[in-house]
Structure 1
Amino acid sequence: MIEAARTGDIASYPFVLQPSAGHIDFMMEMINLKPSFARKLYQAGFTPMHLALQNNRIQAVLRFLKFDEGLIRVKGKWGLTPLYHGVRTGDADLLFKFLDVSPEAIEDVTVFHISVKDMFEAFQVLVGWLIRSRHEAAQRWEKEPMSWEDIEGNTVLHVAAIRNRPRVC
């Protein structure tokens, strides 16, 4: 770390900020000193929050949320957000926490499509959250996500039909 600071080698910083090392307090202090580190894409196109999710460091993820709720919507490699990770793992508690702090993250089109493809339980959580949401855009969100198209032009209903997911239909 000292060598990275001395030489200005920004590529070394992800190792300092990597929550998998278990040094969450140190990582958060570094981000407090230089907030832009939290949004920077590092190893293979991921932010420290993405890396924390990949390493199942939920306490680090929660600290990131307290630091900056907007981190949920930062797109990493392939345009994927941390909410996408919550969908892929089917972690309902994490999905609810993400949606509580950033309801607008529901507008990330891929989360519905991915949940239909790979994780029906996550789809149920997302739809249930939409139904119960008191957000000013909730009525619009109840209708629109099913008509949003992914990069291949498929709506959620198309994906459900292609993947033979009658419960989604």
Structure 2
Amino acid sequence: MDPRLIVIHENPHILESIDAVPFINTPLHVASASGNLPLAMEIMNLKPSFSRKLNTYGLSQFHLAIEEGQTRLVLSLLKVDSNLVRLPGREGTTPFHQVVG
């Protein structure tokens, strides 16, 4: 079994407990910042609400993927939800602002 899925196998409610926290570094943030495209897309399928969560620094996974130059991941996330470019983060900065700024 894929080691990333063992945690879900052991605790099927783990994603809901993460989703309940208002500001948290979700598994989607980690996958996006590191460029782990397959994991990021699987998390988007399992828990699309994570795409709108901000971490404790006020950044979405989309902000992080842009910061880290994860172009393929950014484009893949946009195919799932094109509105992610408008998600306000810290100081109201959107991912669109990051790209054009």
Name the TM-score, length of structure 1 as normaliser: 0.45
Cα pair distance change 1:8/1:59, threshold 3 Å: same
Q: Is 2:53 the partner of 1:40?
A: yes
The structure having more radius of gyration, on CA atoms, is 1
What 5-or-longer segments of structure 1 have no aligned partner?
89-169
Q: Is 2:66 the partner of 1:57?
A: no
Cα pair distance change 1:65/1:7, threshold 3 Å: closer
Cα pair distance change 1:34/1:22, threshold 3 Å: same
- Percent identity of the aligned residues? 34
Q: Which has the higher contact order (CA 8 A, sep 6+)?
A: 2
Tell me how many residue pairs correspond in the alignment. Answer: 86
Q: Report the CA distance between 1:28 and its aligned residue.
A: 1.1
Q: What is aligned with 2:14? A: 5
Q: What is aligned with 1:69? A: 82
Alignment of 1:94-133 (within 5 A): none
**Considering only aligned residues, what root-mean-square deviation do their CA atoms show, in Å?**
2.3
Cα pair distance change 1:80/1:29, threshold 3 Å: same
